[in-house]
Structure 1
């Protein structure tokens, strides 16, 4: 039985505008195998403790635009699932909810997400801010690539910036296994505000396929809760940092010659837009 409030399958050139979805039994708006769809000026509302009430669910879709939308729900405000590419999320208010998430990936071989751009969004009282999640247990190879998060405001968010390649929501997963999903070319730019926990930035990448080309520029996140100053935790990450780094970043630079590093231009981040 399908419990989604609005589901679009195999739709090309669609526009959802100026509607309100209230207290969905499951996902509010679900897109599968869609192309060239615009979602604008939509309001999505459900209690913060309502399970599996994702705001907008996107799978196997291309050229999806979500703009000027308010999402208050009990799961991901926007979830981007395998097979999706060229997804643009701009001007979204998220809260309560679990944030904007890529994944999870790694359950089936060959899963991928690419070319996701999230800009000018605000997160208030959410469990996560911007997140990438992949399975480690019984994991299959896949990729996440060409992702940009920029000009993001966090207000009392538990985990503002997260890469979790040990995703295991039910608990009890083996720590001996490692995700086989390669995450690369992910940019975090101008993300500011307050974390509700001490761990404002957590980049927990795979030991077998470490994250590559991760960039952090002008990160300014303060701990608004207990535990002292905010911290940034990084595991198996190779990348670069620029500008403000509050909390101080522990991202390690890529293995490269000094000439290659000198030739690298930080202005690439400003040009990182495929739309």
Structure 2
């Protein structure tokens, strides 16, 4: 369930929206091209599950900027089939930070490419910047990921590359993820 759902939108601008206490994702962008999301104010309690601020899949040329996002889940989540995303001047917190993935859970997933997170601030989040992949499920790729000019305050895990997502000693044999991760830059 999501509050705002954008599917097959081209050359769209979503701006000056407040979303409060969504029952699921606040904003879901999928199968879109050339989308700008700016000056959004997204809020949910830190204890609310599955309340991603902005969730992006199967889209190209997405710009998210000048926004404030505080939820019980990812401020921004990016999954398969996403190419050329810029996240700039976003304030994140509370929440789980900005996540790429999870990847490798489903067969024939499309690559995530060209993701840039710039000039952003994380305050009181569980994670800062995260790439998460399933162990030993399906192949895929995440490449050309850049994190630059990031400020973090009271962030439990500032940078995470988790190749054993949803793994615990009781349910995982520590098999390697089949996701290829290349050309990540942290400046």
Match of 1:92 among 74, 90, 96: 90
TM-superposed deviation, 1:174 = 1.4
Deviations 1:230-271 (A, max 9, x none): xxxxxxxxxxxxxxxxxxxxxxxxxxxxxxxxxxxxxxxxxx
Query: Which stretches of structure 1, 4 residues or longer, exceed 2 Å deviation after superposition?
Result: 108-111, 169-173
**1:250 counterpart residue number:** none
**1:188 counterpart residue number:** 186
Contact 1:73 1:95 in 2 (8 A): yes
CA distance in 1, matches of 2:156, 2:75: 15
**Over aligned residue pairs, what C-alpha RMSD do you find?**
1.2
How many residues end up aligned between the 2 structures? Answer: 186
**1:257 counterpart residue number:** none
**2:128 counterpart residue number:** 129
**Aligned ranges 1:107-122 → 2 under 5 Å:** 107-111=105-109, 112-122=111-121
Deviations 1:57-107 (A, max 9, x none): 000000000010000100000000100010000000000000000000012
CA distance in 2, matches of 1:59, 1:145: 15
Tell me the TM-score normalized by structure 1: 0.66
**1:56 counterpart residue number:** 54
Contact 1:143 1:183 in 2 (8 A): yes
**1:158 counterpart residue number:** 156
- 1:171–1:25 CA distance, 2 compared to 1 (3 A): farther
**1:240 counterpart residue number:** none
Match of 2:15 among 14, 17, 27: 17
Tell me the TM-score normalized by structure 2: 0.96
Match of 1:27 among 4, 7, 25: 25
Unaligned runs of 5+ in 2: none
CA distance in 2, matches of 1:76, 1:171: 25
CA distance in 2, matches of 1:4, 1:170: 29
Deviations 1:13-70 (A, max 9, x none): 1111111000000000000101100000010000000000000000000000001000
CA distance in 2, matches of 1:176, 1:100: 25
**Aligned ranges 1:221-236 → 2 under 5 Å:** none
Partner SS, residue 105 of structure 2: coil
CA distance in 1, matches of 2:90, 2:15: 14
Contact 1:110 1:143 in 2 (8 A): no
CA distance in 1, matches of 2:167, 2:90: 25
Deviations 1:145-193 (A, max 9, x none): 001000000000010011000101677331242110010100011xxxx
